[in-house]
């Protein structure tokens, strides 16, 4: 972490951008110009993890809105499936709702994961402090 009041350094910001655009940790680390072990270590840091989750949440929301706004296309693997003549109006109407539901569930899971991580860390710290 950079010593600038808790804000992330340039490399850490680049790493977050790479995590959002690359397929896996190795590719993200390479794109950010850091080692994979460094990236894994940074992901364990509370401030870095918080900023990464915030960026991921923002990118999911943006993708979700763009996808749903694109003529109601669902984006669930077959983008033109509901454009077929046999597709009912109800399906065309519900497709964007499906996209939003999935995106928000993903965001909720990210938040739960972050809270669980913090609870586990607090419990670990507490148990270490109480050992005899």
Total domain count, the chain: 2
Q: Please give the residue that has the higher pLDDT: either 87 or 47.
A: 47
Classify residue 55 as exposed, middle or buried by CB count within 10 Å of its CB (0-12, 13-18, 19+): middle
- Shared domain check, 78 and 14: no
> Is the per-residue pLDDT at 120 higher than 90?
no
pTM above 0.85, yes or no: no
What range does the domain containing 11 cover? 1-44
> Is the per-residue pLDDT at 25 higher than 70?
yes
CB atoms within 10 A of CB 44: 10
- Shared domain check, 112 and 61: yes
Q: What is the pLDDT of residue 122?
A: 85
- Shared domain check, 64 and 84: yes
How do residues 63-118 score in pLDDT, each as one tens digit? 655 555 554 544 444 555 556 677 787 877 787 778 778 777 877 887 788 788 88
- Shared domain check, 115 and 69: yes
- Shared domain check, 20 and 57: no
Q: At what angle do helices 25-32 and 10-21 cross, to 10 degrees?
A: 140
Distances (CA, A) of 112 to 41, 47, 107, 109, 125: 21, 17, 9, 5, 20
Q: How confident is the model at residue 30 (pLDDT cuts 50, 70, 90)?
A: very high
């Amino acid at each position: 972490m950079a010593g600038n009041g808790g804000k992330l350094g340039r490399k850490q910001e680049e790493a977050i951008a790479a995590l959002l655009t690359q397929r896996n940790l190795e590719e993200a680390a390479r794109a950010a110009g850091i080692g994979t072990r460094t990236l894994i270590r940074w992901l364990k840091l509370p401030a870095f993890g918080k900023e990464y989750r915030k960026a991921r949440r923002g990118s999911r929301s943006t993708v979700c809105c763009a996808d749903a706004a694109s003529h109601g296309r669902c984006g669930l693997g077959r983008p033109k499936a509901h454009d077929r003549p046999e597709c009912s109006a109800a399906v065309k109407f519900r497709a964007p709702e499906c996209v939003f539901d999935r995106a928000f569930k993903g965001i909720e899971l990210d938040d739960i994961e972050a809270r669980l991580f913090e609870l586990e860390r607090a419990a670990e710290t507490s148990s270490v402090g109480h050992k005899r």
